[in-house]
Chain A
Amino acid sequence: MILSLKRRSVLPGFGLTMGCTLLYLSLIVLIPLSATFLKTATMSWSQFWSTVTEPRALASYRLSFGASLIGAAINAVFGLLAAWVLVRYSFPGKRIVDALVDLPFALPTAVAGITLTAIFSSNGWIGRLLEPLGITVAFTPLGVVIALTFIGLPFMVRTVQPVLQDLEAELEEAAASLGASRWQTLVRVILPELSPALLTGFTLAFARAVGEYGSVIFISGNMPMRTEITPLLIVTKLEQYDYAGATAIGVVMLVMSFVLLFIINLLQWWSHKRYA
């Protein structure tokens, strides 16, 4: 069937590689994912609904989504600034800084989690400085925001950086020769040109943050209703052998991931049209 849907080619191996791809994809991804949805189907709708809307679950959504939004917003500002500085200016140590941007991506999340907790706890390097100001980070929602900002940083920088790199100098020269100030050029010319990339980076950082587990659970303190993120709620339910409850919350998160994936694809299609 697939062969008839495919254009003719002299290259060999389509059947073999396509067959391997579909088989492996089905075994590893598609069948387990569908099994999860089928598992929810064994629950009644009212049972499902009451599980996913219990106060503890609602509090966890608020924290997960709220902290992810704030983290992504912080990254939108500082990630854009970092990308700008890395593309436009030269300064000593620039190559090292550039390579280090990917650290949150390469550093295992558990390591990030215990390290951020150690730094921001009341006797840690930074926590010690913040305590006299009345700011506690570890074991509060603020700690969750910090961890999610850390984890989202490379997504923002690496999405904006190549677009900024390809931005043509003529555009800015034209703006300048028409009498625009540097600030006007930035707001009226550069930012609109960057907006698809900024939005894509924001959504990627947000999507990653919503599902994040390892870097958050150490710094958050995991108090139900206050600092419990949604992925942790799933783990808690599993540890209490509440498989139905864990599945229900898991399906909510899966649906959320699919929606975000759809939005990301739309944004990338938009940027592609814009920059191609």
Chain B
Amino acid sequence: MAGTIAFSRATASITRTRATTEPAIVRWTLIGTAVAFLGLFLVVPLAAVFTLALEKGVSAYFAAFREPDALAAIRLTLLTAGIAVPLNLVFGVAAAWAIAKFEFVGKNLLITLIDLPFSVSPVVSGLIYVLLFGLQGWLGPWLAEHDIKIIFAVPGIVLATIFVTFPFVARELIPLMQAQGTEEEEAARVLGAGGWQTFRRVTLPSIKWGLLYGVILCNARAMGEFGAVSVVSGHVRGLTNTIPLHVEILYNEYNSVAAFAVASLLALLALVTLAAKSVVEWKSQAHVTTGERTPARGEAR
């Protein structure tokens, strides 16, 4: 096994001869075009967020965070992510265990269903909960009778966030655990380890980087989700506004500096996410001993 990996690494890093690469001028033109395109679409917006946030100076920048509404939005976002991420983490591990370690009929259908929230428009993700729990919805009259508010309240925001971040952990773990097979766990069982012990001592150490990677992506989306949350939130200032919704309100009030100041917080979160992702990728490559990570099934999603 190790031999084949070493071999494939060697072919990947083969020094290209003149016949299989381009002349320097073509090479640098291509690099220039690609970097210009990526710079225009990635670096310029990133620079713009921070420049516009600091347009009126540092004190105006920090004033945006002293607003009670901004603080309430930050608290709500932390609360939402604090509920959605652990729930999806537990689900992701359970789903990956069932799918990767056992053979059963209908496995591909189950994987497709788990992926489903990624293909649904954020707005539709919010809409389905409005139709279920809203006043016009199926459970609306019953909920109103018992004075339970889900739509235009915090539970709706949490539900919509769970929906849009549903597949992240599972889809990271499934290919990883499938590639690792079941021999190690079976050996642990034969040697007398219990089920939980097997998972904690054998499975968990070998999936920890993939797990962390899934959690990072899940958290970034949970804190940044806009469309789905916007549909169910009702935009009550100080009560049902998350950070992205607060940015929208400030922007629509032509309060550009405050809007970009709060937005810069989310941009920082994105940068931290990208950095953490790079570190995790680097670590997992260094730690991989049983087969390379398979970036199949739309890694970027």
Contact = CB atoms under 8 A, between A and B. Distances in A.
B209 interface: no
Contacts of B19: 172-173, 176-177
B227 A11 contact: no
Contact of B275 (A99, A165, A253): A99
Determine the main DSSP class of B at the interface with A: helix
Determine the interface band of chain A, counting residues with CB < 8 A from chain B: 35 or more
Interface stretch (A43-51, A53-61, A133-141, A203-211): A203-211
B190 interface: yes
A122 interface: no
Contact of B244 (A28, A91, A100, A108): A108
A243 B136 contact: yes
Determine the interface band of chain B, counting residues with CB < 8 A from chain A: 35 or more
A272 B163 CA distance: 28
Nearest to B113: A25
A66 B131 CA distance: 29
B273 A106 contact: yes
Interface in A167-188: 168-169, 172-173, 176-177, 182
A107 B270 contact: yes
B27 interface: yes
A125 B51 CA distance: 11
Contacts of A268: 296-298
Interface in B240-292: 243-245, 247-248, 251, 256, 259-260, 263, 266-267, 269-271, 273-275, 277-278
B278 to A, nearest CB: 5
Nearest to A146: B41
Given A104-B42, A108-B244, A114-B260, A211 B166 contact: no
A246 B134 CA distance: 13
Contact of A5 (B38, B105, B225): B105
Contacts of A143: none
A204 B30 contact: no
Nearest to B245: A110
Contact of A9 (B101, B129, B159, B300): B101
A110 B263 contact: yes
B117 to A, nearest CB: 6
B128 interface: yes
A12 interface: yes
A168 B220 CA distance: 36
Contacts, number: 323
Given A7-B103, A18-B98, A35-B131, A108 B266 contact: yes
Contact of B220 (A106, A153, A158): A106
A97 B46 CA distance: 13
A210 B230 CA distance: 18
B116 A17 contact: no
A193 B245 CA distance: 44
Interface in B29-69: 30-31, 33-35, 37-38, 40-46, 48-49, 52
A155 B301 contact: yes
B299 A158 contact: yes
B236 interface: no
Interface string A234-254: 110010010100110010011
Interface in B181-228: 182, 185-186, 189-190, 194-195, 198-199, 220, 223-227
A85 interface: yes
14 contacts: A5-B105, A9-B103, A20-B95, A30-B113, A99-B277, A100-B274, A110-B244, A119-B44, A126-B44, A150-B41, A150-B45, A155-B301, A159-B300, A257-B124
Interface of A: 2, 5-7, 9-14, 16-18, 20-21, 24-25, 28-33, 35-36, 38-39, 78, 81-82, 84-86, 88-89, 91, 95, 97, 99-112, 114-116, 118-119, 124-126, 149-150, 153-155, 157-159, 162, 165-166, 168-169, 172-173, 176-177, 182, 200, 204, 207, 210-214, 218, 231-232, 234-235, 238, 241, 243, 246-247, 250, 253-254, 257-258, 260-261, 264-265, 268, 272
